[in-house]
Amino acid sequence: MTGPHVPVPLSAGDREGDALAVMAEAFKGRRRALKTSLEHQWRPVIMPALVLWALATVLSCSILHPFDVAEYEFYAHAALQAPLLHRLPVEYPAPALLVFLAPFLLPFSYPWAFAVLAGIVMVVLVASYEGSGVSGMDMAAARRLIVYLAVGAVILVTGRYDIFAAAATFWSVRAVRQGRWSAAWTWSCIGFVLKLFPAIFWPALLIAEWRRQGRFPVRRLAWMVASFVVVAGLPALVNADAALNPLHYYLRRPNEVESIPAGLSLLVDWHHSQWISSFHDVNVVNGAGHPISVVLEILAAAGCLWIWRAQLRDRLPIEAVCLATLTLAVLGGKVLSPQYLMWLMPLWALYPIRPTWLSAALVNVVIIPYITSVQHYSYVPSFPLEVSATLAFLARDLLVAWGTWTWLRSVMGERQSSPASAGARAP
């Protein structure tokens, strides 16, 4: 007769072996899932994205030769001169140098190497919709993003570095919808140190996590402080005079020709408007420009406060809050370069294609060659072309504004009539 079975405790080596086996199996499972997802998306999503990248690269590197990429290369070379990393960009955050230096790692000329890196980010972005496990972030959304990029940013995808920050902001929203708060803050902070604009998402992230966790996420304030330190504090250690370059650059420049203040000030002060080439762009200067710019910035700030209040009352989902506030930030500023629409497109793609947004994207890409010719060839535009370009961009901006307003009303109406939402608000 045998006695009761006594389990033999595992040794430390056995436990470590079991843990490694579990990790290896999990890695194999993720690799199989990734392979399956890529095979599933190859024809409907990845192939169109590669075609878009090829077209954008040919236009950028062989035909238009965008000024911005040449400027990135200049900043990268300047940063490598002695003393190392002391020459910082004038209009971009200092950490953007990491993006500007990365093309040197590839065995191509700088424009082609930059296009390759931008293409990789774009393909990963469109492939990240499917498999997110979130309603609305699926293959159909990825195809809509490709449509928006093809219609409104085919010249910009590989000619600006905004695709890097736009991808980071989308991955931040995606992580929030998945309940991965640390990942959401990580991606938003990465986008902020590259391009600054993702900071507009931070109040929405704080409110969303506060509502989900039941307490205010105080530790996230440290993430925000750390991001500001990376953007301004660390550069101040190597070049104190250049630490706040992007802020000074924005405050000193007049209204960019693509902005709403430029278009409205032209209509108000038609006879005293002048177009000057400065700050690497064409700008509109007149007596009405500054007051209109200040009023629009105040209205945009008030609109953001209203959106965050609606979020607190559970009248808007997080992705709608992020899109609405980012749109207000884009439209309310005195700078609205064509590449700024790329910030909005990943979030536009979460909803059915709206004719107003698509029309705005089309106007955006039609006018870009004209602006590029002004910058690249030092072409002095005539008065009719100046006026027509300014009014065309104003029409583009108003299309974005009207499309966003009608979309926001429909989202809030659906949220209010949803039984689940009504039940959540009842307590």
374-397 pLDDT per residue, tens? 555 555 556 777 888 889 999 999
Average pLDDT rounded to a whole number, residues 225-238: 86
Q: Which residues pair with 277 in a beta bridge?
A: 282
| Low-confidence winner among 123-137, 183-197, 345-359 (lowest mean pLDDT) | 123-137
Mind giving me the DSSP string for 294-309? Answer: HHHHHHHHHHHHHHHH
CA 75 to chain centre: 22
Given a contact cutoff of 8 angstroms between Cβ atoms, the answer to whether 119 and 24 are in contact is no
**Residue with the two structure tokens 């604009």:** 197
Contact 78, 86 (CB under 8 A): no
Question: What pLDDT is attached to residue 113?
Answer: 96
- C-alpha torsion sign, points 114, 110, 250, 385: negative
**Cα–Cα nearest to 399, from 354, 369, 368:** 354
Residue 346 CA to residue 323 CA, distance in Å, equals: 9
Among the residue ranges 81-90, 159-168, 330-339, the one predicted with the least confidence is 81-90
Average pLDDT over residues 207-221: 92
Please give the pLDDT value at position 407. Answer: 96
Residues 60, 171: Cα–Cα separation, whole Å:
26
Residue 426 banded pLDDT, cuts 50, 70, 90: very low
Give the mean model confidence (pLDDT) for residues 41-62: 90
- 315: phi then psi, degrees, rounded to nearest 5: -100, -5
Q: Which residues of 160-171 are buried (b: 16+ CB within 10 A; e: fewer)?
A: bbbbbbbbbbbb
Look at residue 83 in the predicted model and tell me its pLDDT: 85
Check residue 350 and report its DSSP letter: T
pLDDT score, position 424: 40
CA distance 275 to 285: 6
Residues ≥6 apart with Cβ < 8 Å to 265: 255, 273, 284, 286, 288, 289, 292, 293
Alpha-carbon gap, residue 285 to 272, rounded angstroms: 8
Tell whether the model's pLDDT for residue 35 goes beyond 80.
no
* Sheet of strand 274-278: strand arrangement: 255-256, 281-285, 274-278
Residue 55 pLDDT > 80, yes or no? yes
Residue 405 near residue 372, CB atoms below 8 Å: no
pLDDT for 374 equals 57
Q: Is the pLDDT of residue 410 over 70?
A: yes
Over residues 199-224, mean pLDDT: 93
Tokens, residue 413: 């109406």
Query: Residue 362 pLDDT more than 70?
Result: yes
Instruction: Give the Å distances, CA to CA, from 69 to 110, 166, 234, 257, 367.
Output: 8, 17, 25, 21, 19
pLDDT of 370 > 70? The answer is: no
Measured CA to CA, the distance from residue 184 to residue 71 in angstroms comes to 31
In the chain the first and final C-alpha atoms are separated, in Å, by: 64
Helical residues (DSSP H) of 42-134, grouped into ranges: 47-58, 67-80, 97-101, 110-127
Residue with tokens 């689940």: 420
